Amino acid sequence: MTKRRGEVAGVDVHCPPWCESGIKGHRQALREGCEPDQARTHLSVDLGGQVDDIRNYLTGRLFRPGQGGWRVWLEAGPLMTTLVLELRTITRGKNIPAGKRKHNSVRLDLTTDEARSLAAQLIHLADREDLR
Ligand SMILES: [Zn+2]
């Protein structure tokens, strides 16, 4: 089991349950040259998915040919005052050369309530589009 509490660069660190680094990982980041606050930043495993074509969920109508995907993870600073949800989307259209693939990224500082509300609203909006 990964150690969840310890000292990193002279500061006590307590990892949240979702932190993949553990104290060993935070210390390793420091040895690899990260600034102390950066080394103490907690990161979750990133979740993601990939789709071959973007289609309407119900009708199957094709919106965008080609692969696309996303990755999302949690991040919190050493003082745990902010929770960051970072979302990256990757578009690999069938006619887009490998070097010209489109990557979009957005970082959102959210409370857990805001994250839940956003997720519910995104599902609502996707349903409205798919059901029209
Ligand atoms: Zn941690």
Q: What is the pLDDT of residues 22-39, one digit of tens each?
A: 999 999 999 999 999 999
Sequence ranges of the domains in the chain: 1-43, 46-132
Instruction: Indicate the pTM of the whole model.
Output: 0.70
Q: What are phi and psi of 36, to 5 degrees?
A: -50, -45
Identify residues whose C-beta is under 5 A from ligand 1, the ion: 15, 19, 21, 42
pLDDT, averaged across the chain: 82
Predicted local distance difference test score (pLDDT) of residue 12:
92
Predicted local distance difference test score (pLDDT) of residue 120:
95
Ligand 1 centroid, distance to 52 Cα (angstroms): 34
Ligand 1 centroid, distance to 6 Cα (angstroms): 10
Cα-trace Rg, the chain: 19
Name which residue leads in pLDDT, 51 or 40: 40
Ligand 1 centroid, distance to 126 Cα (angstroms): 34
The amino acid sitting at 103 is H
The residues with which 5 forms a beta bridge, in sequence order, are 14
Ligand 1 centroid, distance to 87 Cα (angstroms): 20
CB 74 within 8 A of CB 45: no
46 contact partners, CB below 8 Å, separation of at least 6: 71, 72, 73
Average pLDDT over residues 69-96: 72
Predicted local distance difference test score (pLDDT) of residue 126:
84
